[in-house]
Structure 1
Amino acid sequence: MRPRAVFFDVGNTLLQPYPSVSSVCQEVLSEFGHSADLEAIESLMPLVDAYYEDRYRADDTFWTDEEETSSVWVGMYSLLCERLGIADQAPVIARRVYDEFGKPGRWRPYPDVAPAVTALRDAGIMTGIISNWDRRLASLIEGLGLGGMFDVVVSSADVGLRKPDPRVFVLACERLGVAPEEAVHVGDHHYADVLGARAVGMTPVLIQRTGSDVMPAMAACATIRTFVELPDVLGLED
């Protein structure tokens, strides 16, 4: 069935950090008078990612509260500072890194985003965003010049609901006036995006721009590497 609406996740789906998380951390550290080798920072990123994943698995409801969301990210970057031997200023530096990622200049859309979303809209399909993100998301999307490409932007902290809670998917659909069964959700996270969308009857599409432990058979849904594949998956190819 041709969808009436297609929703997208943001991180690792629509946007990527610019020039990279490690580079931004290095710049901020330099502002505070600390020199850190980029390679050293990058070597600690798996530890930072593990901190996030542990927190996410323990209780993902932090995504529904602005203060809780920021505290998790400050905790991640504080850990990085501490491992670099910068403990005294860690919370302040970490907050500065978090603030940086609220700026449009610290993000870039993937090259395939604009062509794919434009093609959907030209085909008469509504588009939207459903993301576990803080309240800066809408202004971030606007600042990147993508505001006119989406009919609705739903961030978890803004509405007090997070993926995979079925209610956030229902809310997004209601804002566009479509039934969940008439919509598709594209995202990179099996738990948040695939399971959440499927729970309300939306068609999930898993995008894996980089390597992932989730194999197509495990995902039990359409799996793509880039948005170039999306029209075919949605049955929009002539």
Structure 2
Amino acid sequence: MSGTITFDFHNTLVECDPWFQIEIRTLVSDVLRYWNDLGEIDVPADLLPSADAEYRKLRLAIHGHGHELPADRAVRMILERIGYPLPWDAIDIALDSIMRAAMETATPVEGAQAAVNRLANEGVRLGVVSSAVHHDFLIWSLDRFDMADAFDQVITSASCGFYKSRPEIYWSALDQLGADSSHALHIGDSLRFDVGGASQAGMRTAWYQRPDARDTPTPERMPDLIVPSLVNAAPLLLSTLERS
């Protein structure tokens, strides 16, 4: 069949809270800790809280205006701001090591692998759309959990330059997938960023209502489909896509 389905990554395909906390809170201080623990630099104790505070300010600003910075550029910016710059190669080495260590704690969401592979076998074009500053973490994780081959494209805020607070990230995904928004569906666990963002881009939406979900749909963020589990979700996603 024709049609396109895009998936959110965190808590929709893969669960990895340590990675998520690095992405949103401790990215810069973790880079400093990496080299400090190796004995390559001597980081003053008061610098780590400053790094976290400045990075958090940056993340909140990005949430607001929607223009993303990839991990290496964000780290470099904050390190320069707090007066402790590191070379680009040192930043990249630390980031890859930190992210690979975090990946060891990752687990696939129950039912995700089967749903993704079923949809791919049905001929649906698949993509991942995620607000993530370290693009390669997604590639590594999808490969680890045998989902990489099912996806035609992986689009992150780092790779396209837009956070999920803007529809441009979805338009970028549709463009890269060669898809039309009227024949595309996005599924994710966030009513604000997945349902709201993809709806703004003209896509149909499915809300993965996780057991710990606290939000409820509103007229502005009303999904076309609600699934409480990804187990056996593929037929529901297909039928919703076919209505588009």
TM-score above 0.5, yes or no: yes
Contact persistence 2:191–2:215 (CA under 8 A): yes
Taking structure 1 as reference, are residues 20 and 147 closer, same or farther at Cα in structure 2, changes over 3 Å only?
closer
How far apart are 1:116 and its partner, in Å?
0.6
Taking structure 1 as reference, are residues 204 and 21 closer, same or farther at Cα in structure 2, changes over 3 Å only?
closer
Matched, 1:114 2:150: no
RMSD across aligned positions (CA) = 3.7
Deviations 1:171-194 (A, max 9, x none): 111112110111111111122111
Write out aligned runs for 1:142-157 (5 A): 142-157=143-158
**Mapped partners of 1:109, 1:70: distance in 2:** 28
Deviations 1:74-125 (A, max 9, x none): 9xxxxxxxxxxxxxxxxxxxx9799444454331212301111111112221
1:188 maps to a residue whose letter is D
**Mapped partners of 1:21, 1:233: distance in 2:** 26
Taking structure 1 as reference, are residues 213 and 123 closer, same or farther at Cα in structure 2, changes over 3 Å only?
same
Taking structure 1 as reference, are residues 173 and 21 closer, same or farther at Cα in structure 2, changes over 3 Å only?
closer
Write out aligned runs for 1:91-106 (5 A): 99-103=97-101, 104-106=103-105
Write out aligned runs for 1:14-163 (5 A): 14-17=13-16, 57-60=60-63, 61=66, 63-67=68-72, 99-103=97-101, 104-133=103-132, 134-136=134-136, 137-163=138-164
Q: Which moved more, 1:224-233 or 1:60-69?
A: 60-69
Matched, 1:179 2:168: no
Deviations 1:152-199 (A, max 9, x none): 101111221221311111111111211011111111112211111000
Taking structure 1 as reference, are residues 123 and 17 closer, same or farther at Cα in structure 2, changes over 3 Å only?
same
Unaligned runs of 5+ in 1: 33-47, 75-94
Contact persistence 1:101–1:107 (CA under 8 A): no
Identity of matched residues, %: 23
- Match in the other structure for 1:87: none
How far apart are 1:127 and its partner, in Å?
0.9
**Mapped partners of 1:20, 1:158: distance in 2:** 18
Taking structure 1 as reference, are residues 21 and 7 closer, same or farther at Cα in structure 2, changes over 3 Å only?
closer
State the number of aligned residues: 194
Matched, 1:227 2:238: no
Q: 4+ residue runs of structure 1 moved beyond 3 angstroms?
A: 18-22, 54-59, 61-64, 67-71, 95-104, 216-219
**Mapped partners of 2:59, 2:74: distance in 1:** 11
Taking structure 1 as reference, are residues 171 and 18 closer, same or farther at Cα in structure 2, changes over 3 Å only?
closer
**Mapped partners of 1:174, 1:131: distance in 2:** 15
Deviations 1:39-89 (A, max 9, x none): xxxxxxxxx9xx96x875553247433246568xx9xxxxxxxxxxxxxxx
Q: TM-score, normalised by structure 2?
A: 0.64
**Mapped partners of 2:189, 2:67: distance in 1:** 19
Contact persistence 2:115–2:230 (CA under 8 A): yes
**Mapped partners of 1:169, 1:154: distance in 2:** 9
1:223 maps to a residue whose letter is I
